[in-house]
Amino acid sequence: MIREKGYPCEPWRIREAGLDLDVLAQSESVFALSNGHIGLRGNLDEGEPHGLPGTYLNSFFELRPLPYAEAGYGYPEEGQTMVNVTNGKLIRLLVDDEPFDVRYGEVRSHERILDFRTGTLERTIEWVSPAGRAVRVRSTRLVSFTQRAVAAIRYEVEPLDGEQTRLVIQSGLVANEELPITKNDPRVAAVLREPLRSEQHLANGSGALLIHRTKQSGLRMAASMAHIIDDSQETTVTTEAFPDWARTTMACVRKPGERLTVVKFLAYGFSSQRSIPALRDQVGAALAAARLSGWDGLVKDQQEYLDEYWDGADVRVDGDPEVQQAVRFGLFNVLQAGARNEMRPIGAKGLTGPGYDGHVFWDTELFALPVLTYTKPQAAVQVLRWRHATLDLARERAATLGLKGAAFPWRTIRGQETSGYWPAGTAAFHIGAGIADATMRYVQATGDDDFEREIGVELLVETARLWRSLGHHDRHGDFHIDGVTGPDEYSAVANDNVYTNLMAQRNLLGAADAVARYPEVAHSLGVDEEEAASWRHAAASMTIPYDEELGVHQQSEGFTRYQEWDFDDTPPEEYPLLLTHPYFDLYRRQVCKQADLVLAMHWRGDAFTAEQKARNFHYYEARTVRDSSLSSGTQAVLAAETGHLELAHDYLGETALTDLHDSHSNTEDGLHLASLAGAWLAIVAGFGGMRDHDGELSFAPRLPSRISRMDFSLLWRGLRLRVSVRPDEVTYYLREGDHEDGSQLELLHHGERVTVKIGKPVTRPVPKMSPPDVEPTQPAGRAPIRRGAQGPGSPRSTFAR
C-alpha cells in the first residue's frame, strides 16, 4: 500500500520524493498521463524496472474467447481486452557504456512531479554509475490536450563530474512487450501474449514508424517518433527499425555543465478501416504539427487548456489539505479520461492501467459523466454519442434476450456484451436507465436541443422500450421489474430493485416527455400515442418495495427478511468477500457490496421523504461493507444530506484518497476513476447539497467541523456559477459564459428561490440544523478512517489501513 509512504500535501501537484520500488506499479498509475485518446502509464523513462508497462489507445482492443464449463443461451462468446500498444516512452541512457538503471550504482536523489496546472510529469534524478560517474537527468512528459494524437518528452542529461563523459541515448518504439502474470482476481485484466502483428516498419535519420494489426479484432495502429536534438555540439544520430521495435541512437561527449537535450515527439493513430498508407500519413501529419508547435508551443497550449478548465471546474477545500490535493487529482484524471475521447467510452480505469480489461461499466454515466457534464460538457456529450453509436448492438442484444428496445452491455469496449457472469452482467439492466439519466442530465444542464433531437430522443425511446418489455403489470395493476441485479452485486437476480425501478421510472417519463416535444422524431422511431401512454402508465404504477414493520425501503423485494451476515466473525482478511465466499451465500444474506438503495436516494432523492432517507441510511449503513470503491462517495452524499457531516467527511476522504493511499490494494492495475469522480460528487452534491431534479438547480450547503471554507464551480446552460460556502453563509456568484451581461440564474437555496445575476453575487445564511439523535454504525471493522474533529488518521476502525 502507498498509505504509509504517502505524497506530500501540495494543493496543485503530486510529488514523489525518492523512489520506492515496492510500490512502483501503484505510482505508475498515479503518474499516468492521458488525453482520452492516448494513455501513458507513469513508467520510468528507461523502461526498467517497471511494475506494469502500459501504453493504451482508447478502444484499441483484441478479442479473446470466453470459455464456459457449461454454456448457456445468450452467453457472450468473445471477450474484449485493451491492448498494451507500442511503447514510445522508452529513452535509455548509457553513461560511459554503463546503462542508467536505478537498481545499480547510487541514486543520490529522485523526484517526480505530476502538475495539475501544466498537465506534465516531471522527473529529476541524480545518479552515480557503478564506475563512479555522476549525472543529472531531467525529463518532462506530456500527452497533449490540444493535439489529440501527440505525446512528447523533453529529456536532458548533464554530467556532474570528470573532464568529459560519453553519453548515448537510445530512444525507442517497442511493440509486444512482455507483461507480468496476472493474479486470480476478476478485477484484473487478462494477459494477451504478443497481440500485435507487424505490417510495416520504417526508419529515417531521426525517427521511425511501426504499423501493427491485432490478430483477431483486425484493428490497425501506427506509432511514430521524431526527435529534435540540441546540436550546438556534435552529436551523431542513427536510426534502425525492425518489425517489433525501432531505435534512434544519439551519441556525444559532454563536460560538466554541458547538457545533451532531446525532444521526442510521438504520434499514435488507429482504425478498423483505414489502410496502411492512410494511417502512415495520419501519424506523419500529427508529427509535423507537433514539430511546428515545438516543445514550448505544446507546453504553452497545454497550460492554456488547463487554465480554462480549472477556471470553471476548480474546487477549494480549506481545513483538509490532503483532501484538497486529492480532489484536484481526481478532477484532473476525470478530465484526462474524457478530454479527447471523441465518440469513445471512458473505461473504469480510464487509460491509466489494464484493470477490468479496459472495460466501460455503468459507473461511467453515474459518476464520471456528472462531473464532466458540469465542468467539461463537450467531453460528456462525446461519451453519449458513443453510446448512441453502439445502439444497434444494444438492440441486437435485447432481441437475443427476447426483449424489445436496447439492452446495453454490462461491460464492453466496442459495444458488445463481454461479461461472462450473467447474474452480475446481463441481469444488471439498470445500465440503460443510467444512460438515459445521463442523457437527460446533459440536456438539462446545457440546453443542447440539437443533441436531444438528433440523439437523445432515440436513446430515451429505446431504453424505455426495454423497461416496458422487461417489466410487467400484475393482476392488481402494479408494475414490476423482476430478475434483475442492481448496483449492489452481492444481491443478484432480485425482484423490484428500488434503484433500478426508480431510475427506470425516470427513464419512462423522460422518454414520454421527449417524444411529446419532438413528434416528428417520435414518428420516425415508430412511437405512437399508445406506446408513450404505456410508458407513463408503467411509471405511475412502478412498485417500490417498503418494509412497513421496519419503516425502511427494501433494497429489493424481500431483502429485509434475508438472514443477517455475521460481521463480527468475519476476519479482515476475508474482505473483499467476493474473493473468499461463494456468490450464492452472498446473494441470500443482508450484506451489501456497495451503496445501492443509498444510490437511489441520491439520484432519485425526489422519490423519498427526509425521514425515509434518514431511516434508510441508518439501516443500510450497518449492512454495507464497501468492497467496491464506488460506495464511499455515494455514502458521503447521503451522510451529509441526513445530517451526519463528520461521517460524510470521513467518506469524502476515503473516496478521494482511494488511489493515493491504495486503499483497495489494486491501484497498480489503474486508477479508480469513479472514486475520483465520487470525491467531486461528495463535495458538490454532499456538502454543497447540489441537486438538479427535473432540471431545477438547487443547493443545501453545510460544512463539517474541520472544513472552514469550500468553493466549487460548475457550468449551467453556458453560465459559470461559483458557490462559496462558509459555516454560517453561502455566496452564489454568476460569471460570464456564453451569455450577455444581465443574464441571470434561478436556483433554490435550502428551499428558498434565489435569483443570481452576472456581477451581482447573492449571499444567504445557512440554516441551523439539529444534530441527528443517533449516529449510524457500520459492519464490524468496516467503518471509514476518521477525518473529522479528531483529525485525519483517527480510526473509527482499521478499514483501509
Residues annotated as binding site? 362-363, 593-594
Q: What is the 3-state secondary structure (H, E, C) of 618-638?
A: HHHHCCECCCCCCHHHHHHHH
Q: What are phi and psi of 366, to 5 degrees?
A: -95, -15
Contact between 482 and 417 (Cβ < 8 Å): no
C-alpha cell at 204: 529515417
Query: Measuring CA to CA, which residue among 710, 708, 707 is closest to residue 699?
Result: 710
CA distances (Å), origin 275, targets 39, 76, 609, 675: 24, 30, 59, 39
In three-state secondary structure terms, 225 is strand
The rounded distance, in Å, linking the Cα atoms of 674 and 660 is 14
The rounded distance, in Å, linking the Cα atoms of 160 and 171 is 22
Angle at 302 between CA 300 and CA 303, to 5 degrees: 70
Q: Is 740 a catalytic residue?
A: no
The rounded distance, in Å, linking the Cα atoms of 684 and 613 is 19
Contact between 525 and 592 (Cβ < 8 Å): no
Contact between 776 and 618 (Cβ < 8 Å): yes
Q: Which of 28, 417, 489, 621 is catalytic?
A: 489
Amino acid at position 750, single letter: H
- Cis (ω within 30 of 0) for the bond into 576? yes
Q: What are phi and psi of 84, to 5 degrees?
A: -75, 105
The rounded distance, in Å, linking the Cα atoms of 703 and 319 is 11
The rounded distance, in Å, linking the Cα atoms of 608 and 615 is 11
Going through 190-259 in order, the beta strands assigned E by DSSP cover 196-204, 207-214, 220-229, 236-242, 245-254
Give the annotated binding-site residues for substrate: 362-363, 593-594
Distance of CA 13 to the CA centre of its chain: 19
Number of helices (H) and strands (E), helices first, in the chain?
19, 35
Burial of residue 47 (number of CB atoms within 10 Å: 0-12, 13-18, 19+): middle
CB neighbourhood size of 576 (10 A) = 18
CA distances (Å), origin 194, targets 78, 198, 215, 353: 18, 10, 9, 18
Contact between 30 and 186 (Cβ < 8 Å): no
C-alpha cell at 630: 464506488
Q: Can you tell me which residue has the cell 499516468? A: 32
C-alpha cell at 661: 493511499
Angle between helices 529-540 and 498-517 (to 10 degrees): 150
Contact between 116 and 30 (Cβ < 8 Å): no
Amino acid at position 540, single letter: A
Active site residues: 489
